[in-house]
């Protein structure tokens, strides 16, 4: 019996020993597995391209883990962090900043996630996307887990893109360009709403292509439409067009808007057909207006040069004619003793002398005007007295003609603070032209005050009149009303320069075979009435 009992006991002991051995081997395998897992995880997290750090909250925020990427980013080794935390924290501004942030998280018991800027050891800006959170163990232990990604390159690219967009926006604003896109398949033209072009567009700045082409001035629409559809088919890689818009989607424009449009293909489909078109439009109305102004100025300059050439070519003739008359009739005057012939020759010599003097004075005045040296001596002058003297001298000049000289009723107390000689130069020029082109009827002159306070001075004749196309140019240089009559074609141009200096306006109204009125105005502030 004892043997049986001992045998059972031995069996039980052996079974317990076997069970213990099995349990021990299982525990050893688990420990090994845990160790292997720990090594694996440490190797895994150590070699991640993301900085990983773990701090023990219960042990004064001691570092428990610090991977290679953390070493690279913060410039502090794992050994420094793990062995001497105080030295590690004080080794760089980045570490101090990180520690302050960790303390704030613990104090407020919160998590943090976002982009943070740090000053790298070399002084450059370092941008990290940081994620920090508190993790807890069922047994109550707590750790602070930090992960950080280096986003410096991405942030720099974002900043570069933002700067590029800002520059582009500035360029668009400075250049007054308006961007647009056109989706060919959807047939949607979209404007960005910059620089006023979008005012022409409907609400939402979108429309169909045909609707926009309908805004183009009719005389240009067919040409632009043909080129646009060639471009959309892929026949040309880009398109440049200039055209005018004569209306918007809501109204007809008061003045057509000149548009310069550049476009190119941004996207093709698999078959190589254009899908998305991008372009820029610019309002070039001011440029076109300037070009037209410059063109007109060029034409005017060319016409002035042409007229000057004609003037210079004719000047020798204009000067020789009175000189020849003076020389010729002076010789005849010296040879004759007949008193009537002497009087006739003297009159001819005097007339040609006056004409020659006028030619020379006009040329001298022109040179002074171009040089800016024409002198003005301002005095108080009684207009009535000046016009009365004009009446007397003119009646003597036309005493043998059928032309009546009439000084019409005008106020007598008007005093003008001007250069009386230059003033009479204008009036005498008007009178000389009137006498030259009036064979019968009358020449009337006078002055009156206008409603705005300015003074209106005029001379009206019943002469040949001036064709409508020439009235606009009578005050231009080298323009002669009649090529067969003597003169330089400078007189009226000089008159205009004088009146401009006086601050007034000058003009002419005429009707062929009826007569002409030459007039000028002077500001009322230059006038005083006794």
Rounded mean pLDDT, 123-141:
83
**How much is the pLDDT for 530?**
43
Can you tell me which residue has the tokens 């008159």? 495
Least confident residue range of 69-83, 334-348, 504-518: 334-348
Percent of the chain with pLDDT over 70: 83
Rounded mean pLDDT, 53-73:
84
How is residue 126 written in tokens?
Answer: 């370092």
Least confident residue range of 52-56, 158-162, 207-211, 525-529: 525-529
Do 408 and 508 lie in a common domain? yes
Residue 23 domain flag: no
The better pLDDT of the pair 398, 226 is held by 226
Do 387 and 524 lie in a common domain? yes
Do 276 and 222 lie in a common domain? yes
484-490: long-range contacts, CB 8 A cutoff, minimum separation 24 = 485/436, 486/318, 486/321, 486/322, 486/355, 487/318, 487/436, 488/311, 488/315, 488/318, 488/358, 488/359, 488/362, 488/363, 489/307, 489/311, 490/311, 490/362, 490/363, 490/365, 490/366
The better pLDDT of the pair 352, 459 is held by 459
The most confident of the ranges 93-107, 141-155, 469-483 is 141-155
Q: Is pLDDT above 70 for 88?
A: yes
Do 524 and 379 lie in a common domain? yes
Q: Is pLDDT above 60 for 222?
A: yes
Rounded mean pLDDT, 105-125:
79
Are residues 387 and 446 in contact, defined by beta-carbon separation less than 8 angstroms? Answer: yes
SS3 520: strand
Alpha carbons 179 and 184: distance in angstroms, whole number: 16
Do 141 and 183 lie in a common domain? no
Residue 291 domain flag: no
Residue 348 domain flag: no
Alpha carbons 61 and 101: distance in angstroms, whole number: 12
Indicate which CATH number applies to the domain containing 50: 3.30.450.20
**How much is the pLDDT for 528?**
46
Alpha carbons 474 and 493: distance in angstroms, whole number: 8
Q: Which residues contact 194 (CB under 8 A, 6 or more apart)?
A: 172, 173, 177, 178, 179
Do 136 and 240 lie in a common domain? no
Residue 302 domain flag: no
- Name the band, by pLDDT with cuts 50, 70 and 90, for residue 529: very low
Residue range 170-210, pLDDT digits in tens: 666 666 677 888 999 999 988 875 555 556 666 567 889 99
Can you tell me which residue has the tokens 């349990």? 23
Instruction: Give just the sign of the alpha carbon dihedral 191, 197, 198, 202.
Output: negative
The better pLDDT of the pair 398, 480 is held by 398
The better pLDDT of the pair 234, 194 is held by 234
- Name the band, by pLDDT with cuts 50, 70 and 90, for residue 6: low
Residue range 414-426, pLDDT digits in tens: 998 899 989 998 9
Q: What count of other Cβ atoms lies within 10 Å of the Cβ of residue 361?
A: 15
Torsion-angle region of 75 (φ positive above 0: left; ψ -120 to 50: alpha; else: beta): left
How is residue 275 written in tokens?
Answer: 């899908």
505-512: long-range contacts, CB 8 A cutoff, minimum separation 24 = 506/475, 508/466, 508/471, 508/474, 508/475, 509/471, 510/465, 510/466, 510/471, 511/465, 512/464, 512/465, 512/466, 512/467
- Name the band, by pLDDT with cuts 50, 70 and 90, for residue 45: low
Q: Is pLDDT above 80 for 245?
A: yes
**How much is the pLDDT for 333?**
74
Closest CA to 311 of 372, 373, 366: 366
Do 387 and 515 lie in a common domain? yes
What is the C-alpha radius of gyration for the chain, rounded to an integer number of angstroms? 51
Which domain range does residue 420 map to?
375-529
Do 392 and 439 lie in a common domain? yes
Closest CA to 347 of 386, 297, 397: 397
Average pLDDT, the chain: 81
Which residues, listed in sequence order, are joined to residue 64 by a DSSP beta bridge? none
Do 379 and 476 lie in a common domain? yes
Are residues 143 and 57 in contact, defined by beta-carbon separation less than 8 angstroms? Answer: yes
Residue 317 domain flag: no
Q: Is pLDDT above 60 for 434?
A: yes
Alpha carbons 82 and 67: distance in angstroms, whole number: 11
Do 144 and 195 lie in a common domain? no
Give how many domains the chain has, as a whole number: 3
Residue 332 domain flag: no
The domain boundary residue, chosen from 283, 309, 339: 283
Residue 507 domain flag: yes
The domain boundary residue, chosen from 230, 260, 283: 283
Alpha carbons 227 and 390: distance in angstroms, whole number: 69
- What are the start-end ranges of the E strands in 151-214? 177-183, 188-191, 206-207
Chain CA centroid to CA 456, Å: 42
The better pLDDT of the pair 120, 414 is held by 414
Do 95 and 132 lie in a common domain? yes
Rounded mean pLDDT, 331-345:
77
Task: Report the side by side order of strands in the sheet with 455-461.
Answer: 402-407, 440-449, 455-461, 515-522, 506-511
- Identify the helix (H) or strand (E) that includes residue 309: helix 285-335
- Identify the helix (H) or strand (E) that includes residue 147: strand 142-150
Least confident residue range of 202-216, 424-438, 457-471: 202-216
Instruction: Please tell me what DSSP assigns to residue 202.
Output: P
Residue range 361-407, pLDDT digits in tens: 777 777 777 777 788 899 998 999 999 999 998 988 888 788 999 99
Do 141 and 199 lie in a common domain? no
Alpha carbons 2 and 528: distance in angstroms, whole number: 161
**How much is the pLDDT for 40?**
52
Q: What count of other Cβ atoms lies within 10 Å of the Cβ of residue 55?
A: 24
Rounded mean pLDDT, 81-104:
79
Indicate which CATH number applies to the domain containing 461: 3.30.565.10
Are residues 263 and 277 in contact, defined by beta-carbon separation less than 8 angstroms? Answer: yes
How is residue 36 written in tokens?
Answer: 């292997």
Rounded mean pLDDT, 21-38:
64
Residue 416 domain flag: yes
Residue range 254-293, pLDDT digits in tens: 888 888 888 998 888 888 888 999 988 888 888 888 888 8
Q: Is pLDDT above 90 for 519?
A: yes
pTM of the model: 0.42
**One-letter-per-residue 3-state SS of 244-291:** EEEECCCCEEEEEEEEEEEEEEEEECCCCCEEEEEEEEEECHHHHHHH
- Identify the helix (H) or strand (E) that includes residue 479: none
The domain boundary residue, chosen from 283, 302, 324: 283
Alpha carbons 382 and 323: distance in angstroms, whole number: 37
């Amino acid at each position: 019996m004892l043997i049986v009992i001992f045998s059972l006991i031995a069996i039980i002991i052996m079974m317990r020993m076997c069970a213990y051995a099995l349990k021990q081997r299982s525990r050893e395998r688990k420990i090994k597995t845990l160790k292997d897992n720990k090594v694996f995880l440490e190797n895994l997290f150590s070699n991640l391209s993301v900085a990983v750090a773990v701090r023990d909250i219960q042990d004064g925020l001691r570092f428990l883990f610090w991977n290679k990427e953390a070493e690279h980013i913060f410039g502090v080794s794992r050994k420094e962090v793990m062995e001497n935390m105080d030295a590690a924290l004080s080794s760089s501004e980045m570490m101090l900043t990180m520690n302050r942030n960790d303390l704030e998280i613990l104090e407020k018991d919160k998590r943090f996630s976002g982009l943070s800027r740090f000053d790298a050891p070399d002084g450059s800006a370092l941008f990290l996307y940081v994620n920090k959170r508190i993790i807890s163990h069922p047994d109550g232990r707590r750790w602070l887990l930090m992960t950080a990604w280096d986003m410096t390159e991405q942030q720099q690219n974002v900043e570069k893109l933002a700067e590029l967009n800002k520059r582009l926006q500035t360029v668009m604003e400075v250049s007054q360009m308006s961007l647009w896109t056109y989706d060919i398949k959807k047939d949607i033209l979209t404007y960005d709403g910059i620089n006023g072009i979008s005012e022409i567009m409907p609400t939402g700045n979108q429309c169909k292509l045909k609707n926009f082409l309908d805004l183009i001035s009719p005389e240009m629409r067919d040409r632009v439409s043909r080129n646009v559809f060639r471009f959309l088919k892929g026949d040309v890689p880009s398109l440049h067009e200039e055209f005018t818009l004569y209306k918007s989607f809501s109204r007809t424009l008061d003045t057509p808007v000149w548009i310069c449009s550049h476009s190119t293909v941004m996207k093709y489909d698999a078959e190589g057909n254009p899908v998305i078109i991008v372009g820029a439009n610019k309002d070039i109305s001011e440029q076109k207006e300037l070009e037209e102004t410059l063109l007109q100025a060029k034409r005017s300059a060319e016409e002035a040069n042409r007229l000057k050439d004609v003037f210079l070519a004719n000047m020798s003739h204009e000067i020789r004619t009175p000189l020849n008359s003076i020389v010729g009739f002076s010789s005849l005057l010296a040879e004759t003793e007949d008193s009537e012939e002497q009087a006739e020759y003297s009159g001819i010599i005097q007339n040609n002398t006056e004409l020659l003097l006028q030619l020379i004075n006009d040329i001298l005045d022109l040179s002074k005007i171009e040089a800016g040296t024409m002198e003005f001596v301002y005095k108080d002058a009684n207009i009535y007295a000046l016009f009365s003297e004009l009446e007397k001298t003119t009646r003597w000049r036309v005493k043998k003609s059928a032309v009546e000289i009439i000084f019409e009723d005008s106020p007598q107390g008007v005093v003008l603070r001007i250069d009386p000689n230059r003033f009479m130069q204008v009036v005498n020029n008007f009178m000389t032209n009137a006498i030259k082109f009036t064979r019968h009827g009358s020449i009337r002159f006078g002055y009156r005050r206008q409603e705005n306070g300015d003074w209106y001075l005029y001379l009206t004749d019943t002469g040949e009149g001036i064709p409508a196309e020439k009235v606009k140019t009578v005050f231009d240089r080298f323009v002669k009303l009649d090529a067969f009559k003597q003169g330089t074609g400078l007189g009226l141009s000089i008159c205009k320069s004088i009146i401009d200096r006086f601050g007034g306006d000058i003009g002419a109204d005429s009707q062929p075979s009826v007569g002409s009125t030459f007039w000028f105005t002077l500001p009322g502030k230059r006038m005083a009435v006794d």
